[in-house]
Amino acid sequence: MQELNRKQRILKLIVEEFVRTAEPVGSHSLIDKYNLPYSSATIRSEMAELENLGYLEKTHTSSGRVPSPMGYRYYVDSLREKNCIDDDTKEKIQALFSQKDIQINEVIKHGCEIISQMTNLTSVMLGPDSNEECLSKVQLMPLTSTSAVALFVTDRGHVEHKIFSIPDSIAMNDLENCVEILNDRISGTKISQVVDKVNSIKPILADAVKQHEVIFKAFLEAFLKFTAERVSVFGRANILEQPEFTSNLNKLRKLVNLLENQDVWRQFDSNDDICVMIGDENTIAEIDDLSVVSANIHFDKNNNGKIALIGPTRMDYSKVIGALEYLQEAIDEYFKESEDDKDE
Amino acid sequence: MQELNRKQRILKLIVEEFVRTAEPVGSHSLIDKYNLPYSSATIRSEMAELENLGYLEKTHTSSGRVPSPMGYRYYVDSLREKNCIDDDTKEKIQALFSQKDIQINEVIKHGCEIISQMTNLTSVMLGPDSNEECLSKVQLMPLTSTSAVALFVTDRGHVEHKIFSIPDSIAMNDLENCVEILNDRISGTKISQVVDKVNSIKPILADAVKQHEVIFKAFLEAFLKFTAERVSVFGRANILEQPEFTSNLNKLRKLVNLLENQDVWRQFDSNDDICVMIGDENTIAEIDDLSVVSANIHFDKNNNGKIALIGPTRMDYSKVIGALEYLQEAIDEYFKESEDDKDE
DNA sequence: ATTAGCATTCAAAAAAGTGGAGTGCTAGAG
DNA sequence: CTCTAGCACTCCACTTTTTTGAATGCTAAT
């Protein structure tokens, strides 16, 4: 990073001070806290210019300054500390990988928890999307004489199951036939295409199986489970510590409602490894006064998870981005290693 | 229910009025709203007596009356409307069962959502406990040459799985042997005893399998998943509509923290079908100023789920209890039916 | 350019004032 | 003995006013 000029230094300090204290920053207090070699009047005139340029705002005519969205944006792009991560977080993330053979999902989940805790923000985890996986096998296991459980496994080891209770009208036999046909005809099919494919072999099923309508519907239902979002939220309690929420119940309400709703988060689809959305940069209208920092977690080519941190625009971007980058890298490395293991 | 005397009638009205409005109830407004054939002075003296008896409280010397915990308790036990359920809730619960062959877990989950919505409270669902189920089969499915997924199925159709990535040092063969031994030796074992049993056959594994330590540990980990609590929370947003939370952030904080923590809820273990805990009657110190109404959902002898509704002590007990009882009965009936189906 | 000084602004906190819904008590009517 | 009308009193919740202090912008001097 090149040397910063005075305006930039001041902007950086104001952002960081405001992030820390949540109070508008005045010229005087800034000098006091950081022992700046200027008088308050000088800072004031710099602040006035920064305001004219659009990087700062005032809450009222005689208040201190607060970063504008544009100010945050500039801070994130050009002023923030890079690779900012404290040892505590580092250690905790390292500890994640100490156990051998831990599942990717668990890694993401715990990583999410750790970062949520360290940043005091709420985090949302999106489990890997199964659409690109292929159905590899359907297995039927009888439980009693009148019920059985069907297991569906993808080539990446994602498992779903469905219990069939078998009325007299459906023979266990029929179910077995059905599973056999499914294995013959659709194993190897991408999850995203399974439903279509099953539809296309409906006639075959109809021939082989008496109560095919009922069974057919049940199988479709089971396949739908693969495409359901796997979303988890961590650190809900943290948002209650943020003054912007405790003083504004409506804001809180909107966010909590959003967190109840699972389906919103996938849309932070960016190809960037880390995506920072400040205020209304994000497309979700309900939280156009909040910021979201999200990280793609790639653990193999077609399979991504995602971690998103949500909080007030006044959040510690350096810390959040630093932690996410570190986790992301650690996961990358871990999976590269295990790829290597396999290749050995 | 026998005829209520005047004191009881007044207490009932006060509870219901306060539940509705969240405002202390005064003698005057009570008469106005319900056209009582007494003067305010009469009501006042009755109120004073009810207060002396411990059923009512004042928030300050000249305020209206508020039910005491004892007042709520008396209301729940002796005054509330029985079988109180509105048509809307009824319909929604009925609709749950319209689809044939729906899984118990789904029923409980949706039931939970419905009741949460109808009562404007937050609900917690505890999925059925697997401890009493028996492990019925372990199945290994190879994914690639270096990985496989192991599936574990109980006699009630509960499925867990674990992915093994296989370093050179462990042959796929070993894993297969291992699974075979497990199937031979522990299928039929209760989940609660599986870990012990696996420990006891450790020597056998050690003989048959080279890297038995690693595999052994991995299997234990997988078995642990069965005993993990399956907890879901619904209607978190609802608590933000309750004035007792919005005016008291600390209360809100405690509850949200509690809801983050999965492991607390099983302790509402009562043999009663419906269990009402008012204020500090419940054993969780963090919420000794809230009430919890929980219902056991039995869907077969050893297998219970649970639904708990959490809210301020000022909650509509009639409605909550009514809805839970109705849901409970509906589920009972549904499962009795399907038992019958099987016996046919 | 920078700074000291000064008048000005405004929010937030403290203090003071009001209104109203509530109570308890008492004496008299039914 | 039960009920009620009336009255004095209490106290919260609300509004208004005052005070305070941290900030600003501007200007003249360095």
Q: Which residue, among B332, B333, B326, B324, has the nearest Cα to B268 in the 3D structure? A: B324
> Cβ of A41 < 7 Å from strand C?
yes
pLDDT at position B343? 45
Comparing A127-141, B83-97, B204-218, which segment has the lowest mean pLDDT? B204-218
Nearest C-alpha neighbor of B313 from the set B114, B14, B70 = B70
Q: What pLDDT, on a 0 to 100 scale, did the predictor assign at position A337?
A: 65
Query: Chain B 239-278, CB below 8 Å of chain A: which residues?
Result: 240, 246, 249, 252-253, 256-257, 259-260
Buried b vs exposed e over B78-104: b needs ≥16 C-beta within 10 Å?
Answer: ebbeeebbeeebbebbeebeeeeeeeb
- Of the given ranges (A92-101, A152-161, B51-60), which has the lowest mean pLDDT? A92-101
- A151 and B139: CB-CB below 8 Å? yes
- Closest nucleotide to B41, Cα to C1': D4
pLDDT of residue B342: 46
User: Could you tell me the distance in Å between the CA of residue A240 and the C1' of nucleotide D20?
Assistant: 31
Q: For position B74, what pLDDT does the model report?
A: 98
Q: Give me the A residues in range 59-98 that sit within 7 A (CB) of strand D.
A: 61-65
Whether B211 contacts B170, CB under 8 Å:
yes
pLDDT of A342 higher than 60: no
Amino acid letter, A316: D
Note whether A153 contacts B155, CB cutoff 8 Å: no
CA of A70 to C1' of C7 (A): 33
Q: How many CA atoms are closer than 13 Å to the CA of B183, on its beta-carbon side?
A: 14
Residue pair B284/B258 in contact (Cβ under 8 Å)? The answer is yes
- pLDDT at position A71 is 98
Average pLDDT, whole number, for chain A? Answer: 89
Mean pLDDT of A167-175: 76
Q: What is the mean pLDDT of residues B41-45?
A: 96
Q: Note the CA–C1' distance, B172 to D25, in angstroms.
A: 78
The tens digit of pLDDT for each residue in B147-192 reads: 889 999 998 888 999 888 777 766 788 888 889 999 999 999 999 9
Cβ distance A97 to A330 under 8 Å? Answer: yes
Whole-number percent of chain B with pLDDT over 90: 58
Of B101, B167, B252, the CB nearest to A218: B101
Q: How far is CA A224 from CA A157, A194, A217, in A?
A: 17, 9, 11
Q: Chain A: nearest CA to B249, how far in angstroms?
A: 8
Sheet containing B231-234: order of strands:
B231-234, B122-126, B303-312, B290-300, B274-277
Tell whether A102 lies on the interface with B, counting CB pairs under 8 A. no
pTM: 0.89
pLDDT at B302: 61
- Using CA atoms of A322, A328, A330, A332 in order, give the dihedral in degrees to the nearest 10: -150
Sequence letter at residue B92: K
Distances (CA, A) of A191 to A74, A150, A178, A268, B144: 42, 16, 18, 22, 18
Q: Which residues contact B228 (CB under 8 A, 6 or more apart)?
A: none
Q: In which band, very low, low, confident or very high, does the pLDDT at B211 lie, cut at 50, 70 and 90?
A: confident
Long-range contact list for B13-22, CB < 8 A, 24+ apart? B14/B47, B14/B50, B14/B56, B14/B65, B14/B67, B14/B71, B15/B67, B15/B71, B15/B72, B15/B75, B15/B79, B18/B66, B18/B67, B18/B314, B19/B314, B19/B315, B19/B316, B19/B317, B22/B243, B22/B244, B22/B314
* B22 touches B314 (CB < 8 A): yes
A269: nearest Cα among A131, A92, A78: A131
Q: What does the alpha-carbon distance between residue B315 and residue B277 come to, in Å, rounded to a whole number? A: 12
Out of A226-235, B247-256, B329-338, pick the least confident.
Answer: B329-338
- What is the average pLDDT score of chain B? 89
Q: Is there a contact between B101 and A164 if contact means CB atoms under 8 Å apart? A: yes
Instruction: Inspect the interface and report whether the beta carbons of A236 and B259 lie closer than 8 Å.
Output: yes
CA angle B175, B147, A114 (to 5 degrees): 110
Half-sphere exposure of B286 (CA within 13 A, CB side): 15
Mean per-residue pLDDT, A71-100: 93
Quick: pLDDT tens for B26-39: 999 999 999 999 99
Burial-class residue B315 by CB neighbours within 10 Å (0-12, 13-18, 19+): buried
Q: Looking at CA atoms only, how far is residue B78 from chain A in angstroms? A: 37
Question: Could you tell me if B125 and B108 are in contact, meaning their C-beta atoms sit under 8 angstroms apart?
Answer: yes
Q: What is the DSSP string of B170-233?
A: S-HHHHHHHHHHHHHHHTT-BHHHHHHHHHHTHHHHHHH-TTHHHHHHHHHHHHHHHHS--EEE
Contacts A159 to B, Cβ<8 Å: 149, 151, 159, 161
Query: Chain A interface, mutation test: which of B238, B256, B300, most A Cβ atoms within 10 Å?
Result: B256
Is the pLDDT at B286 greater than 90, yes or no?
A: no
Q: What is the mean pLDDT of residues A106-114?
A: 90
Cβ of B26 less than 7 A from strand C: yes
The answer to whether B232 CB is within 7 Å of strand D is no
The predicted pLDDT at position A1 comes to 56
How far apart are alpha carbons A228 and A263 in whole angstroms? Answer: 9
Cα nearest neighbour of B232 on chain A? A232
Residue B236 identity (one-letter amino acid): R
| CA–CA separation, A287 and A309 (whole Å) | 13
Q: Which of A137-151, A197-211, A214-228, B92-106 has the lowest mean pLDDT?
A: B92-106
Gyration radius from chain B CA atoms: 26
Is A276:A74 a contact under the CB 8 Å cutoff? no
Under 8 Å between Cβ of A304 and A129 = yes
